[in-house]
Amino acid sequence: MKNQNIVLVGNPNVGKTSLFNRLTKLNQKVGNYPGITVEKREGSLNANGKTYHIIDLPGTYTLFPNSLDEEIVFKILSEKENKHYPDLAIVVAEPASINRSVILYQQIRELGVPAVFVINMMDELGSKGIQIDFDQLEFYLKTKVYKTNARSGKGLDKLIADLELIPPPFFSTFNINNVYWDAMEEAKKVFPLATEYLTWQYLAQEEVSHLDNDKKQALEKIRTKYNLNISEMQKAESLARHDTVNKAMEAIIIKSQNKNLNTTSKIDRLLLHPVLGYIIFYGLLFLIFQAIFSWSGPFMDWIDNSFATLTAYLANIIPEGPLASLFIEGIVAGIGGIVIFIPQIVILFLFISLMEESGYMSRVVFLMDRWLKPFGLNGKSVIPLMSGAACAIPAVMAARNIENPKERLLTMLVTPFMTCSARLPIYIVIIGLIIPDQSFFGINLQGITLFLLYLLGIFGALGSALILNKIIKSVRSSYLIFELPTYKFPDWKNVLTNVWDKASGFLFEAGKIILMISIVLWVLGNFGPTRDFYNAENIVVENNPTLPEEELSQVVASYQLEHSFLGYIGMGIEPLVRPLGYDWKMGIGLIASFAAREVFVGTMAVVYSLGGDIDIEDDGQKRTLLTRMNAEINNNTGKPAYNFASGISLLLFYAFAMQCMATIGVVRKETGSWKWTLIQTLFMTGLAYVAALIAYQILK
């Protein structure tokens, strides 16, 4: 069947995603390209009596890749064996920057891919002061030119109806400097079947990952022989194309004053103001934080209660036994532990996609680059770092659009230091234990401690970036160049699909790992190596014959945990955590929270025989837990287990340690390397240990 596979290609900010959403009618899915973590958006369109498969390729200015995202664009457009190799490319442009899109269009045609040209955002033609001679443009591009407005859907019917048409042949317009001719002749022998332009692309790229080694070596030999400089070749092409396209377009496009840019300039005068710009940005950050913490509250409570009701209901209807316990306390509770983060992730990504859609995000990059550069990061690191304050998992994923490999790696390595929402329950409990609820000069001491812990997260991230920046060698020199798009009203469809993609991605991807760990933890906590574990009830009754009925089960649970695998592991690591001021019970909490930090509170509740379902938001229950923890004596020191010294030590440990399996999983996936994942885990946990040790030894 002809024109089965269709790809959308275009510069960033031309409304390509809106067009994709329109064409597929949201009949789409988001995944990853095999082997790399570039987001793959594909969907289907039923029209003309058949089903088209449509891929929305990442936005790019050129076929020469500068980032992982752009590599995939070249791969799909050039690799004929690829199952996504397009029968037709739809090159999407917007009125103001047609020249740039024409260059991309020419490159695609010269690779041998048939293409049509779409000018989207046609509604802005007037306000951008642009007149286009469409017949001339069609003649010049040797293809159909469509006028669309993806937001209103205008012009799409025509585009869809014409999808069966095959564009006429296209012959190259690109004249390359004669210094490259000899090298090209030789390269053509290596790729007898490729178009000349594709051969040129192979020659002028640093490394084409999908070529086999023989071909790569042959290319490298030619580059050495002719002393070719890749960057110079790409620039030569860029110059040659700019020159011809600009000349040709002079007759086709007439520009007068761009009113949109005027509006954008006015807004930018405020948002990029050296003082006001920062105040507005921090104000917005504050609002986002506020939203993540307070707006999500009711939703999280609701999810929590629903799961509590569900567990209670299941416990009622399923006959008791180890399998029921695994299902209810392991799996259902595990899923509950994942779902509870959805409100925060939704709110965070709602803000992030609004910022991206409106064009504000690049302004943030503009404002922040100066302050992040000294740490080896770049302006684009702001987004992952900010997101890290909610959850490191989507935050690490957000580092994808950083071009420089080193800066991207650094960003991913330090993002988990940011105080994520899972640390919050632990901070609240421990601060409640060791910091008096008093005001000092009108400032609540507990509040200020919490604030300091957030600052500590930021310092942890930036400080380690500084250290790692010295250690990691840079492959490419650091640079930053980015476009500040004109301001637009966000397209709600894009915002909502983006939020849905991110939330469901977290739910299913990270969820798998969290669920697995919950099950492992459940097994470790519910089975023991000795008979003490299984005879817990008899032993407890024997030792405390007078214990009332309702306390009995809790004491039994506590006794069981003590003699479970988890309990023994806790005791096993006690020598390790003793210098930090913890006893084996806290050791259990630490071990358990290596799966996910938020497990700590629940585990401590079980250890102290209060039953696992402690709701830290519920004041009564919180007080019970706090009272119980306050009364706890550390057997090693004979002092309260949660005194000021051990409390601070715990806080520091939780602030720095990598205690989240899901993050480890995501970092492994995103870095593609176990080496960096392990370095990160060891670095963070090592730092946590040393900080906690020093704090405890000084304060005790």
Torsion of CA 485, 491, 493, 499, to 10 degrees: 60
Q: How far is the CB of 199 from other proteins (least distance, A)?
A: 18
- The span from the CA of 613 to the CA of 608, in Å, is 12
Q: How far is the CB of 70 from other proteins (least distance, A)?
A: 9
Q: How far is the CB of 125 from other proteins (least distance, A)?
A: 13
Q: How far is the CB of 403 from other proteins (least distance, A)?
A: 8
* 239 versus 633: smaller Cβ distance to other proteins: 239
Return the bridge partners of 88, or none. Answer: 6
CB 642 within 8 A of CB 434: yes
* 240 versus 332: smaller Cβ distance to other proteins: 240
Q: How far is the CB of 385 from other proteins (least distance, A)?
A: 17
- The span from the CA of 349 to the CA of 336, in Å, is 21
Q: How far is the CB of 109 from other proteins (least distance, A)?
A: 17
Residues 6+ apart with CB under 8 A from 39: 30, 31, 32, 58, 400, 501
* 289 versus 482: smaller Cβ distance to other proteins: 482
What are the E-state strand segments in 57-168?
Answer: 88-93, 115-119, 130-132, 145-147
The pairing of beta strand 130-132 with beta strand 28-32 = unpaired
CB 182 within 8 A of CB 42: no
* 231 versus 543: smaller Cβ distance to other proteins: 231
DSSP 154: B
CA atoms within 13 A on the CB side of 668: 12
Q: How far is the CB of 40 from other proteins (least distance, A)?
A: 23
* 203 versus 586: smaller Cβ distance to other proteins: 203
Taking the mean position of all CA atoms in its chain, how far away is CA 227?
A: 40
Q: How far is the CB of 367 from other proteins (least distance, A)?
A: 6
- The span from the CA of 621 to the CA of 610, in Å, is 9
* 18 versus 62: smaller Cβ distance to other proteins: 62
- The span from the CA of 666 to the CA of 395, in Å, is 10
CB 11 within 8 A of CB 100: yes
- The span from the CA of 56 to the CA of 52, in Å, is 13
CB 187 within 8 A of CB 162: no
Q: How far is the CB of 256 from other proteins (least distance, A)?
A: 11
* 94 versus 670: smaller Cβ distance to other proteins: 94
- The span from the CA of 335 to the CA of 515, in Å, is 6
Chain residues that interact with other proteins, rule: CB under 8 A: 61-62, 64, 66, 96-97, 99-100, 103, 128, 229, 231-232, 234-235, 237-239, 242, 246, 255, 258, 261, 264-265, 268, 272, 274-275, 362, 365-367, 369-370, 373, 379, 477, 479-486
* 1 versus 275: smaller Cβ distance to other proteins: 275
Q: How far is the CB of 217 from other proteins (least distance, A)?
A: 24
What are the E-state strand segments in 359-465?
Answer: 439-440, 443-444
* 130 versus 350: smaller Cβ distance to other proteins: 130
* 64 versus 642: smaller Cβ distance to other proteins: 64
DSSP collapsed to 3 states, 212-232: CHHHHHHHHHHHHHCCCCHHH
